[in-house]
Structure formats: structure tokens, C-alpha cells
Amino acid sequence: MKALFSLLLLLCAITPPLFASDLNSIYQLAREYDAQILGSKASLEASREAKPIARSGLLPEIIVSGRGTGISSRQSGSWNRTEAAIDLSQPLYDRGAYMGYKQADHIVDQAEALYHGDEQTLIMRVAEAYFGVLAA
């Protein structure tokens, strides 16, 4: 009987409590699985794509084309004609593209501010729930 009691006592000492969690670990879990913060993060990542898209309007444009024709007849023989062209254009100054690039910076800044605001809201929701459970 004494051996069984010692074994149970040892087992209870080794096994960590299943539901004991600190505020930080609960916040980290909420950050990984909360639908609102995940949606905000996806929106932030989508907004960050505005900058490379706007930058593409400032880069040079290259157009490559080619064409080939051939005619063969018994009387005149055969001949082939091949054409190739490469066209490179770069506007010296495109105000619309430049302003679009600057606007993309502001779009990213706004999305980051919204994401950080949602993070702060998540912190408040987790803290209120955590301390509400502790007070109960």
C-alpha cells in the first residue's frame, strides 16, 4: 500500500498540470489561431504586394517579337524570310507611375498600422479573458 501511494505521489509530481498556462503562452496561441488577427495579417501581406506592382510601372518595358515565312515552288526555287525585333522603352518621367509608387508606400503604412491596432486589440481581448478566468 505504501509503495502504491509513493508511486501515485511520484506520478503526480512528474506530470505537469494540463491546463496551467501563463498569459504569454495563451497570447501566442491566440496569435496563431485567432481569425481576426489572421485576416488582418493576410490583408497586410496583400497590401505589401502593392509596392512591387507599382514599381513595375517605373521599370523599362521590353518587347521581343519574331516572324518567319518560307515559300517553295518548282519554278522559282525556294526562299525563306526571317524577321526578329526587340523593342526597349523606358519613359524618362512618368508622373502617374511615380505617384502610384508613392501611394503604394502609404497603402503599406496604413495596412501595417491597422495590423498593429488589431494586435493591440487581441492583447486586450486575451488579457481580459485570462484575468476573467483567474478572477472566477
Residue 14 lies in a domain: no
* Residue 25 within a domain: yes
Q: Is the pTM of this model over 0.85?
A: no
pLDDT in tens, 57-113: 888 888 888 888 777 666 666 777 788 888 888 888 889 999 999 999 999 999 999
Q: Would 10 be classed as within a structural domain?
A: no
DSSP string of the chain?
Answer: -HHHHHHHHHHHHHSPPSS---HHHHHHHHHHH-HHHHHHHHHHHHHHTHHHHHHHTTS-EEEEEEEEEEEEETTTEEEEEEEEEEEEE--S--HHHHHHHHHHHHHHHHHHHHHHHHHHHHHHHHHHHHHHHHH-
Q: Does residue 55 fall inside a structural domain? A: yes
Q: How many domains does the chain have?
A: 1
Contact 12, 108 (CB under 8 A): no
Q: Is residue 80 part of a domain?
A: no
pLDDT, tens only, 4-57: 555 555 555 554 554 547 888 999 999 999 999 999 999 999 999 999 999 988
Domain that holds residue 112: 21-59+92-135
Residue 45 lies in a domain: yes
The answer to whether position 126 is within a domain reads yes
> Considering the domain boundaries, does residue 15 fall inside one?
no
